[in-house]
Structure 1
């Protein structure tokens, strides 16, 4: 479902805004670093954060990415999220290299458990 243009935007350094659903407070929006494997949209978080708790309760999320070079070009992808700890530490280091040009993620807290979130697109919109 991802187009070549979508993949190029996801592989760039754009930030994404993800929307998850909180049963207590309604929609919750969070900026995240973004990635793709060509099929899924991928981001990384820590166990226990609000977005992690929201996805556990309701895995349906929406992601919006705006092209900073042309803010009239954007994509919105909705889908179902799956989470795994496997490879999550290496993935957050990959994202730190991509976004910060640092070899490892500098904001890791003691005892923090990282999680990869893969979103399988079920619908998309773009400009």
Structure 2
């Protein structure tokens, strides 16, 4: 087992179509976890997690109420590795910015040939672009070695 460097966890989390498991807290204090498509981005000297969610989803409401969230990305095959991010969200309803990122997200998860269609589907009124500034990272590789 080893602790991943920034370069290692960045590459690990960005590999292929790994989804993230987003953890937020409901208004009644209950935990909520949901799988999401995400991208990592470096912005003005800090790292961020970018994804879309509906404003009226459990995720959207939770992030509007409390911008803190965690995101887990893992490899469920031996020898097993994972990254857990803590971050603080900034929510945007800017449709131009949303279209740019929704298209990039779609390219990662659906392929370049379908990216434009999925980007347009997800960059609409009622959808948030979430930019989560990463505040803490726990990243372990080859846990079973």
- Superposition TM-score, scaled by structure 2 size: 0.75
Gaps of 5+ in 1: none
Cα drift, residue 126 of structure 1: 1.7
Q: Judging changes above 3 Å, is the alpha-carbon distance between structure 1 residues 107 and 119 closer, same or farther for their aligned structure 2 residues?
A: same
**Partner residue, 1:78:** 86
Q: Distance in 1 between matches of 2:58 and 2:135?
A: 23
**Partner residue, 1:122:** 135
Number of corresponding residues: 125
Asked whether the equivalents of residues 37 and 109 of structure 2 are also in contact (C-alpha less than 8 Å), the reply is yes
Q: Distance in 1 between matches of 2:87 and 2:103?
A: 25
**Partner residue, 1:31:** 35
Superposed structure 1 runs of 4+ greater than 4 Å apart:
68-71
Please identify the structure whose Cα radius of gyration is greater: 2
Whichever structure has more helix as a proportion of its residues is 2
Asked whether the equivalents of residues 19 and 62 of structure 1 are also in contact (C-alpha less than 8 Å), the reply is yes
**Partner residue, 2:48:** 40
**Partner residue, 1:10:** 13
**Partner residue, 2:66:** 58
Asked whether the equivalents of residues 89 and 114 of structure 1 are also in contact (C-alpha less than 8 Å), the reply is no
Cα drift, residue 11 of structure 1: 2.5
**Partner residue, 1:20:** 24
- Superposition TM-score, scaled by structure 1 size: 0.84
Q: Distance in 2 between matches of 1:99 and 1:29?
A: 20
